Amino acid sequence: MRRIVDSPWLFFILAAALLVAAAVSQFRVYTPEERALGSAEDIARIRARDDVNVIFILVDTLRADRVGAYGYPRPTTPILDSHASKGIRFAKVESQSSWTKASMASLWTGMYPQRTGVMNYSHAIPEEAVLPAELFQQAGFRTAGIWRNGWVANNFGFDQGFDLYIRPTPIRRPGVQRKTPSSHALMGTDADATESAIEFIEAYQRERFFLYIHYMDVHQYLYADTSPDFGSTFSDFYDSAIHWTDRNIGFIMDALEERDLRNRTIVVIASDHGEAFFEHGGEGHARTLYREVQQVPLVVLLPFDLAPGIVVEETVANVDIWPTVLDLVGLPSLEGAEGRSLVPLVERAGGHTVRAAEAEQLAERPVFSQLDRSWGRMGDEPKPVVAMVKGPYRYIEWHFGASPPKLFDHDADPLEKNDLAEEQPDLVAALARDIEFFLSEENTTWGGPKEVEIDEMRMHQLRALGYVIEDRRELRERERERSAEESPDGSTAQ
Ligand SMILES: [Zn+2]
């Protein structure tokens, strides 16, 4: 042993090892970029840049109050929470419907369902509509949409403006738990969408791009076997699925980081509606317009970190998303949009008030949501439900049957347990007039929705989502259930 320590060879070997280590450290494959820091004053400067990408992550069926950043005590979304703390978080966001197609048609066009007219299973967005992806495409962005919910498929008009609009090939099967209450499983997992998205980022990282990723595993209560086990109810499975989706968002953020793209990418994380767990009698979504199916998260991550992050407390809506993002990047606004850019509210919340009058207007505005309860039934009369959030109130009207309106005060009763409609007839009358006025604003600039035929294959795919479009056998079953379903609260549908 002594001889080895004394040997000059040992020193040669050590010196050589040090040289090799020094050389290797010069060629590290991946050096995390310095995150740029910014403030509310820097937000308006983004639109002058010509290198900013946009990624839009839509987490289907994610209700706001199950997200850590929105106050949920379970650790469902550590990754999103961490990013949101350095970005913009909108605390009160209303989706425009409680089922995917109607909600997404409003989200993309910036128009309420009343104006898009996209309300039932056969409705599509017509060619005449101008969608955000078209504006990105015209501005020279590479555009891609990667989705796993058949209600946003090409045939419903959602592909307009995308160079590439695909359902990813299902490749990942092992290691996932399927807890969906539907007997029909959707093929693949959100890992397929993540993988396709990262391939797109890799291929177009040197160009400007707009990428839309529509995650679906939260809708399906599906998660990896490495996800935390929160318990054994559907509500617990739902939380595990949120945790798994949060990891997928993390993979996208890592992919940006590894390619030095964070400093030139805006990432928007949103949802189309929430999910009920018997808060108002039913489970699932697409049946009511209460808070659990209507309040969704909205987080915007800028090309720089905000320290501290900005929280916008005023009620906003999903129709505002594209007016806001297009304003941020300096692209033309969406023609005919009823949603507004929220940049004045964001700047004000960040202590930089330059568009004060606009911010004030936005803060006082009511927002609306709508649902046709007959959306999945061929040949049925529409059964419209309309809701409005104005100030602290949510007001809901059923325009069929004999259900009385409902009124909740979120300041005193955030969970909507205490219906005030009978106690406050004057307020109900005033809110009813607002809704009447809202409903008098007929149809779109492009003259309403397009009707599409749904072939057997697509019908099968839509059933696989747990959405049932009736055939004769189901019709007979439905007939038996019909009287129960007339109640606005009795619901088990998806
Ligand atoms: Zn959905």
The neighbouring-strand residues paired with 227 are none
The neighbouring-strand residues paired with 164 are 144
Q: How far is the CA of 219 from the centre of ligand 1 (A)?
A: 7
Tokens of 224: 């990896």
Residue 479's pLDDT is: 47
Give the rounded percent of residues in the chain with a pLDDT score beyond 90. Answer: 71
Strand, helix or coil at 450? strand
Separation CA 51–CA 32 (nearest Å): 19
- Domains recognised in the chain with CATH numbers: 37-365 (3.40.720.10)
Mean pLDDT, range 319-331, rounded to an integer? 98
Q: Which residue has the higher pLDDT, 186 or 63?
A: 63
C-alpha atoms less than 13 angstroms from C-alpha of 315 in its C-beta half-sphere: 21
- pLDDT digit string, tens, across residues 410-459: 999 999 999 999 999 999 999 999 999 999 876 666 777 888 877 766 67
The neighbouring-strand residues paired with 178 are 222
Tokens of 257: 């980081």
Q: How far is the CA of 97 from the centre of ligand 1 (A)?
A: 9
Mean pLDDT, range 350-379, rounded to an integer? 92
Residue 494 has pLDDT above 70, yes or no: no
Strands 406-409 and 393-398: antiparallel
> How many CB atoms lie under 10 A from the CB of residue 54?
22
Q: How far is the CA of 294 from the centre of ligand 1 (A)?
A: 11
Q: How far is the CA of 273 from the centre of ligand 1 (A)?
A: 6
Residue 476's pLDDT is: 45
Tokens of 381: 């009369």
Mean pLDDT, range 132-159, rounded to an integer? 96
Mean pLDDT, range 119-146, rounded to an integer? 95
Q: How far is the CA of 99 from the centre of ligand 1 (A)?
A: 5
Separation CA 119–CA 375 (nearest Å): 6
User: What is the pTM (predicted TM-score) of this model?
Assistant: 0.87
Q: How far is the CA of 494 from the centre of ligand 1 (A)?
A: 9
Q: Which residue has the higher pLDDT, 400 or 441?
A: 400
Neighbours of ion ligand 1 (CB under 5 A): 60, 100, 272
Mean pLDDT (the chain) is 87
Separation CA 266–CA 87 (nearest Å): 10
Q: How far is the CA of 464 from the centre of ligand 1 (A)?
A: 13
Residue 422's pLDDT is: 97
Tokens of 226: 């490495």
- For 391-439, strand residue ranges (E) read 393-398, 406-409
Q: Which of 394, 388, 401, 389 is nearest to 418 (CA)?
A: 394
Backbone angles phi, psi at 174, to 5 degrees: -70, 155
Q: How far is the CA of 209 from the centre of ligand 1 (A)?
A: 25
Q: How far is the CA of 302 from the centre of ligand 1 (A)?
A: 26
